[in-house]
Amino acid sequence: MRLLDPATQPDAIAQAAQRLAQGGLLALPTETVYGLGARADDDAAVARIYAAKGRPPDHPLIVHVADEAAALHFVSTYPAVARRLTDAFWPGPLTVIVPRRAGMATASAGGHDTIGLRCPDHPVALRLLQACADLGVMGVAAPSANRFGRISPTRSAHVADEFAHHGDAQGEGLDEVWVLEGGDCEVGIESTIIDCSRGRPVLLRPGRLTLAEIEAVAGEPVEWSRPEAPDPAAPKASGTLLSHYAPRARLRLMSEEQVIAGLDLIEPELRARAIQEGGQIPPRMAVYSRSLWAYREPCVGLVHRSMPADAVTAAQDLFADLREIDALGVELIWVEQPPDHPAWDGVRDRLTRASAS
Ligand code: TXA
Ligand code: MG
């Protein structure tokens, strides 16, 4: 793995753009999560993304563009609602699915006749996309830079965790992954996806932007295809598979009352075991809760983590916190259900999926 850091290497962006232009893989920062990129118009380069991630090849990827003009390169028609949304929210954490121009970025689109497009609001990503455009590369296909089915990376170190051994002697012949440093991702969960290809806008994946914000700009109701009731018409896409974003540990979503009742049951046993074993026992489960640890004593044998109390910060920290908890080797994570408020839709969606595996 090679790290390029624009803060210390003046030619980092140029090198990264060259790498992509030559068909190589590059992990890039965005404001949502890090993406694993390849030039969108090169089917062989895109195939390397699928191989590196272990992702089934009919799952479409999002193509990242420098601006709306570059987006038009990939579309056959640009529906009015897509234009309203991208005018309002680009650059930003919004992906639109629109009809694809025949023959363009076929592998990126997983063979579907639509394409997902996004202009990310991250200074390093935007400089990179502009440098790519200057080399004639109009779009960079990039799914989240994690192995298939795992938690998305929100720090460059997470990308290293996922792909550190690629391109090594032990790397199964896979390409070396280069990583462009862009700091911690500010949004922390993946972009909101709106399918604008079906005549009426459909929310496929909630993100930081709320449904109300999107409907206000769309000027029409936006239907939500929820994970609990998958829309059979939606193309098979990993971001909409129920058991996605899973940590290694089993994750259960519970009400605060359920967490308390469960802890009341198991804590006496944990304390007794700890006394038998000389004071300490390795933690086998974690509790990730918004409010509990403000008033409840931590217990031996349990990992205690606090979920931020506001939705924006909770999204920012979510994947990093789950990775950190997972790395402690616990078998079970009890997560307090987020509030039933639209601002939490994105976080609730990711946790619901993680708990389904
Ligand atoms: O925030 C994000 O969107 C991040 C960063 C890197 O931009 N990317 C991301 O990509 O989350 P990925 O591949 O992990 O999720 C992309 C999802 C697919 O799983 C699928 O649900 C949807 O985007 N998608 C892409 N193209 C599509 C299409 N043509 N039709 C339907 N869904 C599509
Ligand atoms: Mg993903």
CA distance 275 to 163: 41
Nearest CA to ligand 1 atom 13: 143
**How far is the centre of ligand 2, averaged over its atoms, from the C-alpha of 141 (Å)?**
12
**How far is the centre of ligand 2, averaged over its atoms, from the C-alpha of 298 (Å)?**
34
Q: How confident is the model at residue 217 (pLDDT cuts 50, 70, 90)?
A: very high
Q: Cβ < 6 Å from ligand 1: which residues?
A: 30, 32-33, 35, 59-62, 95, 97, 109, 112, 114-116, 118, 120, 142-144, 190-191, 193, 204, 235, 237-240
- Which atom of ligand 1 is nearest to 187's Cα? 1
pLDDT cut 70: percent of the chain above it: 92
CA distance 96 to 204: 10
Residue 194, pLDDT above cutoff 90: yes
**How far is the centre of ligand 2, averaged over its atoms, from the C-alpha of 111 (Å)?**
18
Question: Which region among 166-175, 269-278, 305-314 has the lowest average model confidence (pLDDT)?
Answer: 166-175
Residue 69, pLDDT above cutoff 60: yes
Nearest CA to ligand 1 atom 10: 143
- Which atom of ligand 1 is nearest to 144's Cα? 14
CA triplet 265, 271, 276: central angle to 5 degrees?
130
CA distance 16 to 4: 8
Q: What is the pLDDT of residue 235?
A: 52
pLDDT tens-place string over residues 89-122:
999 999 999 999 999 999 999 999 999 999 999 9
Q: What is the pLDDT of residue 172?
A: 53
Residue 158, pLDDT above cutoff 50: yes
**How far is the centre of ligand 2, averaged over its atoms, from the C-alpha of 189 (Å)?**
10
**How far is the centre of ligand 1, averaged over its atoms, from the C-alpha of 291 (Å)?**
33
pLDDT tens-place string over residues 254-306:
999 999 999 999 999 999 999 999 988 999 999 999 989 989 999 999 999 99
Residue 146, pLDDT above cutoff 50: yes
Choose one of 28, 34, 62 to mutate for the ligand 1 pocket test, by most ligand atoms within 8 angstroms of C-beta: 62
Residue 228, pLDDT above cutoff 80: no
Q: What is the pLDDT of residue 243?
A: 53
Nearest CA to ligand 1 atom 32: 237
Question: Which region among 27-31, 229-233, 313-317 has the lowest average model confidence (pLDDT)?
Answer: 229-233
What SS3 state is found at 237?
Answer: coil
How far lies 138's CA from each of 39, 59, 132, 172, 341, in Å? 8, 21, 7, 31, 38
Closest ligand, as measured to the CA of 191: 1
CA distance 200 to 207: 19
Residue 209, pLDDT above cutoff 90: yes
Q: What is the pLDDT of residue 123?
A: 98
Give per-residue burial for 159-169: e unless 16+ CB within 10 Å, then b.
bbbbbeebbee
Closest ligand, as measured to the CA of 121: 1
Q: Which residues are registered as beta bridge partners of 96?
A: 117, 194
Q: How confident is the model at residue 248 (pLDDT cuts 50, 70, 90)?
A: confident
Q: What is the pLDDT of residue 171?
A: 47
Residues 150-171 have a mean pLDDT of 82
Residue 132, pLDDT above cutoff 50: yes
Q: What is the pLDDT of residue 10?
A: 96
**How far is the centre of ligand 2, averaged over its atoms, from the C-alpha of 104 (Å)?**
22
Closest ligand, as measured to the CA of 108: 1
Residue 185, pLDDT above cutoff 70: yes
Contacts of 130 (CB under 8 A, 6+ apart): 66
Q: What is the mean pLDDT of the chain?
A: 92
Contacts of 294 (CB under 8 A, 6+ apart): 306
DSSP structure string for 29-51:
--SSS-EEEEETT-HHHHHHHHH
- What residue ranges in the chain does DSSP mark as E strands? 2-4, 26-28, 35-39, 62-64, 94-99, 114-118, 140-141, 178-180, 192-195, 202-205, 223-224, 250-254, 285-289, 302-306, 332-336
CA distance 317 to 255: 20
